[in-house]
Structure 1
Amino acid sequence: MGQPIAPVEATRPARSAIEDGAPNSVSAWRNAPEVAWRLARASAQLRTKPFCAVLKDVRTAREKSRRMRRDLDIQSVQRFAMAFHRAQCLIPIKPVCLPESLALLGFVFSRGALADLVIAVNGPPFQAHCWVQTHDTLLNNPLDHALSFAPIRVV
């Protein structure tokens, strides 16, 4: 069979952008079409591609974002996350962690920001979850919820 799943070294989150309520000067309506498209695209990728191919796409997009070489501070990345979150609230799609996280990664990568996809588990009973994180800041999750999971993969 396969190898047992073991926790990986991941930066322990200390704050949450959505709980801190980073200021955002852009109207949520302005970002809603892009966010809706990114959510639909992420859902389609998960239905049509093997998971390893989806993760490879994340790594490729992250490298492309890294090459943009924008010097963004954490507040800028938090503003991007809040813009995404506020626009997502306008879209009548039930939030699901993996497509939401993939869509958010695409949103921040397209702006030259870097972030990681953290995949984690807890149990019993077994539960899997994921979120987007930059340094020690969660971009799409409440802090207490993420801390209840043990990271097993950081992409």
Structure 2
Amino acid sequence: MAFEAWRIPGRPLRALIARSPCLPLRYDRADDAMAEARLFDRWMPWAPGQGQCLYRACLLRAHLASRGLGSTWIFGVRTWPFSAHCWLQVGDVLLDDDLDRVALYTPILVIGA
């Protein structure tokens, strides 16, 4: 099943999760996943919607899967002021964010752990 990035805007979260590729995690390949995430980061300026964490995480997760790499998709919230955020990890390795930001959020949903 191909992941169609153009279908992200306006889609329910459950539909995005259902269509997101889910490969087994290989902790021994965390370095490979990080290298692919860095490469992906260099391409992101040419993608529309680059400031949205949900869009970015969907695209990166699909990119990693196309390379045979699994990832954990984490959704978190904070209560005051309310905010929601999502990011990708392999084990303890953050792929598309930094620790200072994700530490502000309490995970409420983990996909692909």
TM value normalised by structure 1: 0.62
Structure 2 gap ranges (5+) = none
CA deviations over 1:12-66 (Å, ceiling 9, x no partner): xxxxxxxxxxxxxxxxxxxxxxxxxx7xx4352342x3321211112xx21xx34
The sequence identity of aligned pairs, in percent, is 27
The answer on 1:99 being equivalent to 2:37 is: no
State the alpha-carbon separation in 1 of the partners of residues 87 and 6 from structure 2.
Answer: 15
State the alpha-carbon separation in 1 of the partners of residues 47 and 8 from structure 2.
Answer: 19
Counterpart for residue 57 of structure 1:
19
Relative to its length, the structure with more helix (as a share) is 1
State the alpha-carbon separation in 2 of the partners of residues 42 and 92 from structure 1.
Answer: 10
Amino acid at match of 1:42: A
Structure 1 residue 133, shift from structure 2 partner:
0.9
Counterpart for residue 14 of structure 1:
none
Task: Specify whether residues 149 and 97 from structure 1 end up closer, same or farther in structure 2 by C-alpha distance, changes over 3 A only.
Answer: same
TM value normalised by structure 2: 0.83
The count of residues paired between Structure 1 and Structure 2 equals 108
State the alpha-carbon separation in 2 of the partners of residues 92 and 108 from structure 1.
Answer: 16
State the alpha-carbon separation in 2 of the partners of residues 80 and 115 from structure 1.
Answer: 12
Structure 1 gap ranges (5+) = 1-37
Corresponding residue SS for 2:8: helix
Question: 1:28-107 counterparts in 2 under 5 A?
Answer: 41-42=4-5, 44-47=7-10, 49-58=11-20, 61-62=21-22, 65-66=23-24, 73-89=29-45, 91=46, 93=48, 94-107=50-63
- Residue of 78, 85, 94 corresponding to 1:129: 85
State the alpha-carbon separation in 2 of the partners of residues 43 and 106 from structure 1.
Answer: 13
